[in-house]
Amino acid sequence: MSNEEEKSRIDELTDMLSYYNHRYYQENFSEIPDLEFDLFLKELEQLEQKNPSLKRSDSPTQRVGGTITKDFATVYHKYPMLSLSNTYSEQELMDFDGRVKKHLGEEQFEYFCELKFDGVALSVSYENGLITQGITRGDGEKGDDITQNTKTIRSLPLKIQSNNVPHSFEVRGEAFMPKDVFINLNKQRKVNGEAELANPRNTTSGTLKMQDSSVVASRNIDCFLYGLYGENLPMKTHEESIQLLKSMHFNVSPTFKKCQNVEEVFDYINRWETKRHELPVETDGIVIKVNSLDQQQQLGFTAKSPRWAIAYKYKSESAETTLQNITYQVGRTGSITPVAELEPVLLAGTTVKRASLHNANEIGKLDIRIGDKVFVEKGGEIIPKITGVNVEKRTGRLDKTIFITHCPECNTELVREENEANHYCPNQKNCPPQLSGRIEHFISRHALKIETLGPRTVKGLIIEGLISNPADLFDLTFDQLLGLVLEEEIGKTKGRSIQKKTATNILESIEYSKTTSFEDVLYGLGIRYVGRTVAEKLVDHFLTIDKLMTATFEELIEAPEIGDRIAASILEYFADNTNLEIISRLKLAGLKFEKEKNQEELGDSLLTGRTFVVTGTFEGYEREALKKLIKSHGGKVGSSLSSKTNYLVAGDNMGPAKKTKAEELEIQILSESSFNKLLNE
């Protein structure tokens, strides 16, 4: 391609991908398959790398990050970012209404109510329809320039796709981590042996200040907009600002309501009190704004906040109960989590008996002691939290809590590395929950997926001395399994034990697990900080375990997305002879330790060029994994039956309509076992 051609292709790809992004994130419509989108994005990325000067400021490649900001510059806000005064009672809200009425005299006025999103305030500037700067609230007068990180927020347009765009303006809103994203992130961190994060708000704030924008992009931060600022803008009311924001395809929460008087405001408050928990974002109250911008100006500001708006905060549901004990859990990687054992108390509809105390710092901060009356809150309605101790009720002498010094499970002395909040049990080889945790991780859904082995069987096998590491699974025999008593049944006179059929199933699924891809095996090894994505990156870069095992620190950090911490953890793992021995036994057992060759290298198979439709549920596959498998063998996967379909792969519970249609179109129906045959041929 000539330079001219490359420029025009960059423009074409930028416009096309921006359009699809806009359709997807602003209009909730997916026009092209993800795979195709990713291919175009890759092409654009490569062209931009080759011609950095041709990269456009609205390039969709910025959504995936890639820039590193060492220090965020401090910049002044054009319009100060004020805060709101808070009210907690009906009376205080009536007082606010009284003040507004008094100030406006005889004039009619309306209120505009919105939810108060519990995230991080953000101000974003646009010039000529293009995003130019993103700034944190900071102290209200000046904040940090986090433009590159702001651009990773996918629902925030990089370029406004609408006709009615003011030349220059600023939007304000709340950046947040959706609740489900937060929950998944913490799940993943737990699996990776990392400390769990306290709440979505702090996580959002920390994420937006990260130096590596590609990590920010992976965190899926979102943003609701609620303010529009600029010179000579056309709107006369806040409602019109919201409409204008919507017309420019900013993400506006549809939860707002215009109210004619304070009674209607109370209705709004009551309506959202419980319903707000169904929203994707945490909320802690509502914001009431005078609708007319003229009237807002008349009302003006106090030193810190506007007189035309106020926040009404919902009482976060809190209860007082007694701390009966502090227990300590040992994770797969040996990390120790202190847990508050509480006298059961009803909170926001559920009985709370336990709450995480996170680590020794948290215990120190709360100065929490066994026997204390403590306040429990369900702030974000996600994890109950101990917010404080009712010191006045501390009767008699309660002993100061001293964090355990030895592992509660194996009595080994705990270690706490410099700058680490968590304590660890270093006895990786023999500490029982670490042993079972590692094996359970190895056979878990995203690793070897040996689902016939549940946690109770694993513990039973460990107690019987039959397994102590993942490689031992492949030496299990039918006779060893038959009659094995499950963990909690041990000692019972009629304890349930493994029967013939179960023993056969277990051995079959262990055998089948040998087809697991290298990336899933690597993830299953449970190397600290090597989650699924990191495992994929490592496999793509190093291709074989032998290359990964012999890589130096420098070679490791050269791989995409591998930083110092991960590299050090990988080196530590492979420096351990026991781990090396496990890997060599797993290799001998026939597990995959090399990246699978792609179709071009494999040559054609019976699936190549054929179109499949997959329906029902399967014993040996997740539906998505089956589709992936078909594609990896050169087949195509369609979503509905048509004259182009060659095979319908039918699992259990296939709908009768699909069956009839397949018969009408004379499409061959494959059962799971005939599909397997076709695959193996």
| Catalytic residue list | 116
- Least distance CB 675 / ligand IVH (angstroms): 52
Nearer to ligand IVH, 44 or 208 (CB): 208
Q: Which residue is nearest to ligand IVH (CB)?
A: 121
Pick the closer one to ligand IVH by CB: 288 or 484: 288
111 counts as binding ligand IVH under rule CB under 6 A: no
Which amino acid is residue 377, in one-letter code?
A: E
154 part of the interface to ligand IVH, by CB under 6 A: no
Question: Distance between CA 298 and CA 254 in Å, rounded?
Answer: 28
Q: For residues 372 and 391, what is the distance between their CA atoms, to the nearest angstrom?
A: 8
137 binds ligand IVH (CB under 6 A): yes
Which of 144, 145, 170, 174 lies at the binding interface for ligand IVH (CB under 6 A)? 174
Residues between 19 and 38 that touch ligand IVH (CB under 6 A): none
Instruction: Determine the distance from the C-alpha atom of residue 435 to the mean position of all C-alpha atoms in its chain, rounded to a whole number.
Output: 27
Closer residue to ligand IVH (CB): 89 or 584: 89
CA nearest neighbour of 246 among 27, 504, 525 = 27
Which range of residues in 82-90, 268-276, 372-380, 396-404 is near ligand IVH by CB under 6 A? 82-90
The answer to whether residue 222 forms part of the interface with ligand IVH (CB under 6 A) is no
State the minimum distance, in angstroms, from the CB of residue 82 to ligand IVH: 4
Q: Which is nearer to ligand IVH, 228 or 614 (CB)?
A: 228
| Contacts with 453 (C-beta within 8 Å, 6 or more apart), sequence order | 443, 473, 506, 509, 510
Minimum CB distance to ligand IVH smaller for 160 or for 311: 311
Question: CB 100 → ligand IVH: shortest distance, Å?
Answer: 15
Alpha carbon distance, N-terminus to C-terminus of the chain: 42
310 lies in the site for ligand IVH, by CB under 6 A: no
**Residues 290-309 as x/- pattern, contact with ligand IVH by CB under 6 A:** ----------------x--x
Cβ 275 to ligand IVH shortest distance, Å: 16
User: What tokens appear for 143 in the block?
Assistant: 């904040």
470: which residues sit within 8 A by CB, 6+ positions away?
A: 438, 439, 442, 443, 524, 525, 582, 586
Give every strand in the sheet of 168-176, ordered side by side.
130-136, 120-127, 168-176, 222-229
d(CA 67, CA 304): 36
Smallest gap from Cβ 162 to ligand IVH, in A, equals 22
Cα 356 to Cα 98, 339, 528: the distances in Å are: 44, 5, 22
613/626 Cα distance (integer angstroms): 11
* SS3 labels along 280-320: CCCEEEEEEEECEHHHHHHHCECCCCECCEEEEECCCCEEE
Nearest approach in angstroms of CB 224 to ligand IVH is 7
Given 226, 573, 612, 621, the residue binding ligand IVH (CB under 6 A): 226
138 binds ligand IVH (CB under 6 A): no
- What's the CA gap between 69 and 213, in Å, rounded? 8
Alpha helices in 300-453 (DSSP H): 360-366, 432-442
Number of H helices, E strands in the chain: 25, 21
Buried b (16+ CB within 10 A) or exposed e, 63-92: bbbbeebeebeebebeeebbebeebeeeee
Closest residue by Cα to residue 356 from 319, 327, 398, 317: 327
Smaller CB separation from ligand IVH, 226 or 647: 226
Interface with ligand IVH by CB under 6 A: which range of 111-119, 272-280, 443-451, 665-673? 111-119
With CB under 6 A as the contact rule, the residue among 41, 47, 93, 121 that binds ligand IVH is 121
Find the part of the chain contacting ligand IVH (CB under 6 A) among 76-84, 511-519, 613-621, 630-638.
76-84
Please give the size of the binding site for ligand IVH, defined by CB under 6 A.
15
Q: Which of 678, 650, 677 is nearest to 663 (CA)?
A: 650
User: Could you tell me the smallest distance in angstroms from the CB atom of residue 116 to ligand IVH?
Assistant: 4
Of the candidates 221, 202, 229, the residue with the CA atom closest to the CA atom of residue 82: 229
> Per-residue x/- marks for ligand IVH, 260-289, CB under 6 A?
---------------------------x--
| Of the candidate residues 75, 82, 259, 398, the single one contacting ligand IVH (CB under 6 A) | 82
Residue 83 makes contact with ligand IVH by CB under 6 A = yes
Which element (helix H / strand E) includes 599?
A: helix 599-602
Q: Report in angstroms how near the CB of residue 219 gets to ligand IVH at its nearest.
A: 19
Residues that bind ligand IVH (CB under 6 A): 82-84, 114, 116-117, 121, 137, 174, 226-227, 287, 306, 309, 311
